[in-house]
Amino acid sequence: MKCKALLILLVLLGSTGISFGQFKLSGEFRPRTELSHGYKALAAPDQDASLFTSQRTRLNFNYQNEWVKTMLVLQDVRTWGNQKQLVANEDKATSIHQAWAEIMLTKDLFLKAGRMELVYDDHRIFGSVGWAQQARSHDLFLLKYEGNVKLHFGIAHNENNNIKDGFYGGPNAYKAMQFLWYNNTGEKMGMSLLFLNNGVPYIEDNKEKIRYSQTIGGRFTYKEGNFNLGTNLYYQGGKHKSGKDVSALNLGIDASLKAGENWTFIGGFEHLSGTDYNESEDMKSFTPFYGTNHKFNGFMDYFYVGNHVGSVGLNDIYLKAKYKKNKFSMGADLHFFSAAADVSSTADKGLGTELDLYCAYKHNKAVTFSAGLSNMFGTDALQELKGGDKGESNYWGYFMITVKPSFLNLK
């Protein structure tokens, strides 16, 4: 009843012309059916294909005036069938994906605090992970300067519900985290620099301590007409959670060319350093931390999507073609994977080839249909690294409906 009364009040305020700022109420309904046989790892000889449907449901509240912006995103993520039909109640049925307020301190200086998504540059180190139904958000303070250049400083410190002893056992990947991001983008050239200090907890002498690793680097872009060029370079040092010294590198280059009104062609290479199978002293594996990793190294998520961290790294040569006309779009991505470090004393470094095919149709302003099919053609080295059988048919496909209605928009 209270929610209904609030909505009626908001409608009345909007109809009378009284303006207290801008309020938007929107939603998202996103069921996705997936068929897989060899997703994330090669299928075993006797493994059956899996078929399931998951769904993300969101309710988004946005409000802003000349002094403040706020956002609240309520989210429910579930697999169809994992809740009984006659349900009375359940724990954590709805979670808070985002809940933040941004305060204007001066014309160019803002303070943002709460639970929020962090998206910077091409999503490589910080991304929203929007493909995953649950997506990713952080609890932190964010100080933003946005004048002729952009400068963001973020600081986070995580604790469990027991706040008396300072012990943090998870669930997040870090206990303490600070980052500084600088961006200067012109008409043709752009430069972003990032420094991330990532602290993970460990136990020593029955006390919790923190080991920090540092990631420093950035992304550089150039645009000339229909041609775009981008490069990434990041170095990681400091300490791994295990106590090993970290020395790792991420290098990437991508180029795109728009041909005519409908076609775009993309080519690139990415190197994420790895640790040899017999290396015991240092950690040489690059960790892309909180990026949207599904975006980068193939849609079948063999690398860096909840896996492959601290492993032999990756070299990824890729070619992509995209077509878009009116409401229809489609694309094809081809990846050639190899290990950046030795898998074993006998295995080659070649890991396999992945082909991703996908298409989408924007039915109207609120509704989009999309589908895709991917195949992994693995090698002996991939089989040795991840198990399974390279001789099996390793594929993954999906069909997804995305509905994003706008319920209310008051100005």
Tell me the per-residue pLDDT of 256-312, one tens digit each, with 9 for 90 and over: 999 999 999 999 999 999 999 998 889 999 999 999 999 999 999 999 999 999 999
Residue 129's pLDDT band, with cuts at 50, 70 and 90, is very high
Rounded Cα–Cα distance for residues 78 and 342 (Å)? 39
* 180 beta partners: 153, 195
Please, what sign has the CA dihedral across residues 16, 22, 23, 24? positive
Mean pLDDT to the nearest integer, 51-80: 96
On the question of pLDDT at 34 being above 50, the answer is yes
Higher pLDDT, 5 or 270: 270
pLDDT at residue 119, as a whole number: 98
Rounded Cα–Cα distance for residues 133 and 145 (Å)? 31
Please tell me the total number of residues recorded for the chain in this structure. Answer: 411
Q: What is the amino acid identity at position 86?
A: L
Q: Which residue has the tokens 């009626």?
A: 8
Secondary structure tally for the chain: helices H, strands E: 2, 21
**Residue 381 backbone phi and psi in degrees, to 5:** -65, -40
Cβ atoms of 354 and 376 within 8 Å: the answer is yes
* Domain 29-42+62-83+93-410: which CATH number of 3.40.50.970, 3.40.50.10440, 3.40.640.10, 2.40.160.100: 2.40.160.100
Tell me the per-residue pLDDT of 308-337, one tens digit each, with 9 for 90 and over: 999 999 999 999 999 999 999 999 999 999
Helix (H) or strand (E) holding 350: strand 350-362
pLDDT at residue 4, as a whole number: 52
User: Cα dihedral angle (131, 197, 216, 227), rounded to 10 degrees?
Assistant: 20
Percent of the chain with pLDDT over 70: 94
Strand, helix or coil at 384?
Answer: helix
Cβ atoms of 135 and 128 within 8 Å: the answer is yes
Q: Which structure tokens are listed for 107?
A: 């014309």
**Residue 217 backbone phi and psi in degrees, to 5:** 160, -150
Rounded Cα–Cα distance for residues 393 and 61 (Å)? 44
Q: Which structure tokens are listed for 273?
A: 């350093």
Percent of the chain with pLDDT over 90: 84
Q: Which residue has the tokens 């299928």?
A: 43
pLDDT at residue 11, as a whole number: 53
Question: Lowest mean pLDDT: which of 15-19, 192-196, 211-215?
Answer: 15-19
Pinpoint the alpha helices (H) of 65-110: none
Alpha-carbon distances of 48 from 32, 52, 336, 379, 397, rounded to whole Å: 20, 13, 27, 21, 15
Rounded Cα–Cα distance for residues 266 and 253 (Å)? 11
Higher pLDDT, 351 or 410: 351
Cβ atoms of 19 and 389 within 8 Å: the answer is no
**Residue 386 backbone phi and psi in degrees, to 5:** -120, -5
**Residue 311 backbone phi and psi in degrees, to 5:** -105, -150
**CB-hemisphere CA count at 13 Å for 184?**
4
